[in-house]
Structure 1
Amino acid sequence: MGLSASSPAAAEQSPNASRPDQTASPPSQCPMHQEKMSGCPMHMNTADHRMENTDDVPAHQERAYEFVACPVKSGASQMKDDIDPSNMMPPPNQQPSPGQPFPLSTVREESSIPRAHSDKKWVYPSEQMFWNAMLRKGWRWKDDDITSEDMTNIIKIHNQNNEQAWKEILKWEALHAM
């Protein structure tokens, strides 16, 4: 990758390679530009009634445009039905975690990244959702470890990183358009 010996020393580029051709079509291999899929590729052999949404948009993303509180559940473990097959994640959790030292924002920002087969764009997690995800992955808060201001900055970094990555993808597609 990058500077490794397996990379060609000088890639052949046309004189106009630095200027993306806006009229060329994106590569057919790009999942974003492929024909409409009928469901989750992992579950192609099974019928899934949850994928019958007319816009073919993951159910959890439909709810991402408005504040949705996670329903209170009596069980401690996630039930299999709670996992969204389109991203293998539980529904968005905007509830403060037990023992959380400070309140966090539940505001979500819409990205510039389009969702396949939809007019909508992806929505970034809120500070609270990010905190809950860190806990789910094993992180535990300690005194003076992190502040609410740090969480605000983490979300800004997360979102900008994704926006920059999307811009790089678009540049790559423009260079490799057919």
Structure 2
Amino acid sequence: MGQAASQSVAPSSAGPAQCPIDHSAQMSTPAKCPISHDKPAASSSSSSRPAQCPISHEKSKPAQCPIQHDAAGAELNPLNQMPALSQQPAEQQLAALPTDRETSSIPRDEGGSKWEYPSPQQFYNALVRKGWETPEEHVETMVQIHNWLNEQAWEEILRWERKENPHAVEPQLARFKGRPGELSPKARFWLFAGWLLPSRFNTEPPFDRHDWIVRRQGGQEVRYVIDYYSAPPEPDGSPVFSLDVRPALDSVGSIKQRIQAATEDAWATFREENARNSSQSTH
């Protein structure tokens, strides 16, 4: 989401595009691509190639967020640490791209306004800024995936918030920051686990990281960390993603939330295994 897409104070067509967006407290359920790959996605091209993740996963080049968060010399929006992205066609651009911005479901303030996602043109300009060569006909599908991942991340945050206070008013996304290339402590731990037991744990780092600042009812702000992972693709080549969303360990309250969630998961696993063993013993 950009100035409005990810988290901005006021929607603006000239506002920076950004992903505010696990993706969940657990990474046990990968998020599937929302794009149907049975037929070509609607775009300016009739390409039959399945939609691809906008992140490069080549071993030779570290995967990064396509949105530049720290452009040297550019004035950054304090709400998302991004420069403004133009709605004008980029140099050498061959096909026209839509400039309409989709409104997210993510509240931005108490007034009821929502964050806006970047337009396909803004998203393409962000890719160009990063030096990525991306065919224009794939950009609209990439934007759909980007927006969908943000929505999934927000749903995971709401799950955490409902557990903390089921009766509270829905929180707002106050601001966010993309931190590509910065591994969270948890991501480092899982990479170490993968190094020790590669057959059991993932050995690939997350392709992106975001920090979202959520404002609760009453004004309290809580930081959430979101690690974005790529999961094995579907048989037809459709991309699959896994989001690890959780409260940062910045306060006693967040630490209690994380411990409670881990305890509940461990207890649920124990009960399932116990029930399975009891069922087998009766046959």
Give the structure-1-normalised TM-score.
0.51
Partner of 1:173: 161
The one of 143, 154, 175 aligned to 1:155: 143
State the one-letter code of the partner of 1:151.
V
The one of 115, 122, 133 aligned to 1:122: 115
Q: Is the 8 A contact 2:85 2:126 kept in 1?
A: no
1:172 aligned counterpart, secondary structure: helix
Cα offset, 1:85, TM superposition: 2.5
Partner of 2:93: 100
Q: Given the alignment of the two structures, is residue 63 of structure 1 paired with residue 12 of structure 2, yes or no?
A: yes
2:12 aligned counterpart, secondary structure: helix
Structure 1 residues 72-102: Cα deviation after superposition (integer angstroms, max 9, x where no partner): xxxxx9755x332222222231010000121
State the one-letter code of the partner of 1:170.
L
1:93 aligned counterpart, secondary structure: coil
Partner of 2:124: 131
State the one-letter code of the partner of 2:146.
H
* Counterpart-to-counterpart distance in 2, 1:108 and 1:62: 9
Q: Given the alignment of the two structures, is residue 111 of structure 1 paired with residue 104 of structure 2, yes or no?
A: yes
RMSD: 2.7
1:129 aligned counterpart, secondary structure: helix
Give the structure-2-normalised TM-score.
0.33
Structure 1 residues 25-47: Cα deviation after superposition (integer angstroms, max 9, x where no partner): xxxxxxxxxxxxxxxxxxxxxxx
Relative to structure 1, the CA distance from residue 93 to residue 78 in structure 2 (aligned partners, 3 Å threshold; closer, same or farther) is: farther
**After TM superposition, where is structure 1 displaced by more than 6 Å over at least 4 residues in a row?**
none
5+ residue gaps, structure 1: 1-56, 70-76
Identity %: 41
Structure 1 residues 110-159: Cα deviation after superposition (integer angstroms, max 9, x where no partner): 00000134421000001000001111122134xxxx342x2111111111
* Counterpart-to-counterpart distance in 2, 1:139 and 1:120: 33
State the one-letter code of the partner of 1:83.
L
Structure 1 residues 8-54: Cα deviation after superposition (integer angstroms, max 9, x where no partner): xxxxxxxxxxxxxxxxxxxxxxxxxxxxxxxxxxxxxxxxxxxxxxx
